[in-house]
């Protein structure tokens, strides 16, 4: 019985859950569990923080999502909206902690967050192979955050251009140019880092 | 239930966190659109006053007769209003960018559209006389507005370069000369026997006039062209006093 109830909840769409929240706040747990893993990885990928720090940030994200629930426009993807809030929280975290240089200095963060590159994703086919994931992670750490986030969203979070546009609040054309320039810069960093590994 | 969801729900319940109402977001968005509209309107007023002031300096006739027309143009630009107009454009863009879907549009497209709107509305406002109305309103209600904003003070206060303006304090019957108190409160004897006197320029004591001419010696000025202080450009003949 419990399984059936749980499955029913899992089958609900994000919007249906959002609508049910008005009557049953506990339904929010379904939404949290649906997004916590992917947002956790996303946060760690863009901020290079520890699991503990990422959990704290994640809690803040879900509180903000709840607080701002009524600003969600069902015409657009819920996942883009929740990623937008995660992005904003990450930016706030960077500002408050003044850790803009964090990515270059933190060495304790594991690279496993970049281990799950789907095989059909090809950032730059000619030089990114599975055995160079470490090089990718290192290069991403050193990449300017404006390129890093857009590349992570496109190639690791597998978001479409219009979704990235909604998450970062930049025009689709800018997304495309950031991706292109980011790839160029990543390539240079990877070649440099690759020689040092 | 996972740890994070437990913690989040616990915090929401404990602190009695409630979602912000939909109305608040609607109001915020409407407020941004209103600010955007206001900035376009204010920018248009600013641009119309820029046009009005440029025209009122009456420099167009003399651009070909001065050594440095570019310098004259630069002096005649009402910088305060140019600055306020540009500021309105920037604020307009920021407000637009922060509306719900404003981010979707490229900066250059939004900015160009803003500029175009301000130029069109501002020109229209100027043509229908709105710029004069607004400028008069500011002149009457803002202390030191005229001295700060009005570029005529910069253009027509350079007697050594042939641009003099001031109040007629005395008229000599003999020799067609008058004593003019300049914008800097210096007295100049103005000889106007050979001068072209525009229809609306009254040579009467107390009148403020603009004089294009030549400084012949210290505090002595030979006028070529005399215009009313409030005349402006090609409309100078028609303007009602």
Both A93 and A123 in one domain: the answer is: no
In a shared domain, residues A98 and A114: no
Kindly state whether residues A50 and A129 are assigned to the same domain. no
- Contacts A67 to B, Cβ<8 Å: 17-20
Cα separation, A148 vs A43, in Å, equals 12
Of the residues A83, A105, A127, which one is the last residue of a structural domain? A105
B1 CB-side CA count, 13 A: 14
Question: What does the pLDDT look like over B175-197, one tens digit per residue?
Answer: 789 999 999 899 999 999 889 99
**pLDDT at residue A142, as a whole number:** 86
Confidence of residue A175 (pLDDT cuts 50, 70, 90): very high
Together in a domain, A67 and A123: no
The b-or-e profile of B118-137 (16+ CB within 10 A means b, else e) is bbebbeebbeeebbbebbee
Biggest CA-to-CA distance, chain A: 58
Are A30 and A82 found together in one domain? yes
Q: Determine whether the interchain pair B19/A59 forms a contact, defined as Cβ–Cβ distance below 8 Å.
A: no
Residue A183 has pLDDT above 80, yes or no: yes
Residues in chain A within 8 Å Cβ distance of B103:
165, 169-171
The crossing angle, in degrees rounded to 10, of helices A51-67 and B3-14 is: 50
A76 in B contact zone (CB under 8 Å): no
Decide: residue B173, CB within 10 A, 0-12 exposed, 13-18 middle, 19+ buried.
exposed
Secondary structure tally for chain B: helices H, strands E: 8, 7
C-beta of residue A50 within 8 angstroms of C-beta of residue A109: yes
Domain limits for position A77: 1-105
- A50 has a pLDDT exceeding 70: yes
Shortest Cα distance from B35 to chain A (angstroms)? 20
The C-alpha of B1 sits at a distance from chain A's nearest C-alpha, in angstroms, of 7
Q: B208 - beta bridge partners?
A: B167
Closest residue to A63, CB basis, from B6, B11, B103: B11
Q: Is residue B224 within 8 Å of residue B201, measured between CB atoms? A: no
| Residue B25 to residue A71, Cβ atoms within 8 A | yes
Asked if B100 contacts B31 with a C-beta cutoff of 8 angstroms, the reply is no
User: Which CATH number belongs to the domain containing residue A120 in this structure?
Assistant: 1.10.10.10
B20–A contact, CB cutoff 8 A:
yes
The closest alpha carbon to B111, from B94, B127, B128, belongs to B94
- For helices A78-97 and A161-168, give the axis angle rounded to 10 degrees: 50
Q: For residue B78, give Cα distances in angstroms to B40, B44, B192.
A: 19, 15, 29
Partners of residue A172 in chain B, C-beta under 8 Å = 104
Q: What is the 3-state secondary structure (H, E, C) of A82-101?
A: HHHHHHHHHHHHHHHHCCCC
Task: Find the residue in B nearest to A65 (Cα).
Answer: B19
Report residue B137: phi and psi, to 5°: -60, -45
In whole angstroms, give the CA distance from residue B38 to residue B96.
11
Asked if A70 lies within 8 A of B20 by C-beta distance, the reply is yes
Structural domains in chain A (count): 2
Q: Is A66 on the interface with B (CB under 8 A)?
A: yes
Tell whether A116 and A60 lie within a shared domain: no
**Does residue A149 sit in the same domain as residue A92?**
no
CATH of the domain at A36: 1.10.1740.10
Kindly determine whether residue A71 and residue B20, on different chains, have CB atoms separated by under 8 Å: yes
Write down which residue in A105, A121, A137 finishes a domain. A105
Regarding whether A123 and A95 lie in a shared domain, the answer is: no
State the Cα–Cα distance between residues B93 and B106, nearest whole angstrom.
11
Residue B237 has pLDDT above 60, yes or no: no
Pairwise CB contact (< 8 Å): B4 & A32: yes
**Mean predicted confidence (pLDDT) in B211-231:** 90
Q: Are A46 and A115 members of one domain?
A: no
Spatial CB neighbours of A173, under 8 Å, sequence gap ≥ 6:
B106
Query: B76 burial class (0-12, 13-18, 19+ CB within 10 angstroms)?
Result: buried
E strand or H helix at B145: helix B145-149
pLDDT at A118: 44
Domain boundary among A105, A131, A154: A105
Residues A78 and A137 both lie in one domain: no
- pLDDT per residue over B143-185, tens digit each? 989 888 988 898 999 999 999 999 999 998 777 899 999 998 9
pLDDT tens digits, residue range A115-126? 555 444 455 554
The mean pLDDT value for A102-124 works out to 51
Give the containing element (helix H, strand E) for B169: strand B163-172
- Show residues of chain A in contact with B24, CB under 8 Å: 70
Query: In whole angstroms, what is the distance from residue B205 CA to residue B179 CA?
Result: 9
Contacts of B151 (CB under 8 A, 6+ apart): B53, B54, B57, B75, B76, B77, B78, B79
151-190 of A, contacting B, C-beta below 8 A: 165, 169-174
Continuous segment of H or E residues that includes residue B167 = strand B163-172
Same domain, A90 and A138: no
Which pLDDT does position B239 carry in this prediction?
Answer: 44
pLDDT at B116: 96
The answer to whether residue B142 scores a pLDDT higher than 90 is yes
Beta bridge partners of B171: B178
Task: Assess whether A79 and A162 both reside in one domain.
Answer: no
Helix axes A78-97, A51-67, angle to 10 degrees: 120
Residue B12 pLDDT: 92
Amino acid A121: pLDDT: 44
Domains of chain B with bracketed CATH: 22-148 (no CATH), 157-237 (2.40.50.140)
Min Cα separation A114/chain B (Å): 22
Return the residue of B nearest to A40 by Cα.
B4
A74 touches chain B (CB under 8 A): no
Please judge whether A63 and B17 are an interchain contact, meaning their C-beta atoms are less than 8 angstroms apart. Answer: yes
The answer to whether B30 faces chain A, any CB pair under 8 Å, is no
């Amino acid at each position: 019985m419990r399984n059936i109830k749980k499955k029913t909840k899992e089958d609900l769409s994000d919007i249906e859950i959002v609508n049910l929240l008005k009557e049953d706040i506990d339904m929010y747990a379904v939404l949290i569990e649906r997004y916590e893993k992917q947002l956790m990885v996303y946060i760690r990928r863009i901020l290079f923080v520890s699991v503990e720090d990422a959990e704290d940030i994640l809690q803040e994200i879900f509180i903000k999502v709840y607080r701002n629930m009524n600003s969600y426009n069902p015409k657009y993807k819920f996942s883009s909206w929740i990623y937008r809030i995660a992005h904003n929280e990450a930016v706030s975290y960077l500002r408050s902690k003044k850790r803009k240089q964090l990515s270059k200095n933190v060495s304790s963060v594991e690279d496993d967050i970049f281990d799950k590159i789907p095989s059909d994703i090809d950032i730059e086919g000619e030089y990114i192979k599975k055995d160079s994931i470490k090089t990718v992670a290192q290069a991403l750490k050193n990449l300017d955050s404006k390129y890093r986030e857009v590349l992570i969203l496109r190639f690791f979070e597998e978001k479409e251009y219009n979704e990235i546009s909604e998450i970062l609040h930049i025009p689709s054309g800018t997304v495309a140019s950031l991706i292109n320039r980011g790839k160029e810069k990543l390539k240079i960093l990877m070649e440099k880092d690759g020689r040092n590994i | 239930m996972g740890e994070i969801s437990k913690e989040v729900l616990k915090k929401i319940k404990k602190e009695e966190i409630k979602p912000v109402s939909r109305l608040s977001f609607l109001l915020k968005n409407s407020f941004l659109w209103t600010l955007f509209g206001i900035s376009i309107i204010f920018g248009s007023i600013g641009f119309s006053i820029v046009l009005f002031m440029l025209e009122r300096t009456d420099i167009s006739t003399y651009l070909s007769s001065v050594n440095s027309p570019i310098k004259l143009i630069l002096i005649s630009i009402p910088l305060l209003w140019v600055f306020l107009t540009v500021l309105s454009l920037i604020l307009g863009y920021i407000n637009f960018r922060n509306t719900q879907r404003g981010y979707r549009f490229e900066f250059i497209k939004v900015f160009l559209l803003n500029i175009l709107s301000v130029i069109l509305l501002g020109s229209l406002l100027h043509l229908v006389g709105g710029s004069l109305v607004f400028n008069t309103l500011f002149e009457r209600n803002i202390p030191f507005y005229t001295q700060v904003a009005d570029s005529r003070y910069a253009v027509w206060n350079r007697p050594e370069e042939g641009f003099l303006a001031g109040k007629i304090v005395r008229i000599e019957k003999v020799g067609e000369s008058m004593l003019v108190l300049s914008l800097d409160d210096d007295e100049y004897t103005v000889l106007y026997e050979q001068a072209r006197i525009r229809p609306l320029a009254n040579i009467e004591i107390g009148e403020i006039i603009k004089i294009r001419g030549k400084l012949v010696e210290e505090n002595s000025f030979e006028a070529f062209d005399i215009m009313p202080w409030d005349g402006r450009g090609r409309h100078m003949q028609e303007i009602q006093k």
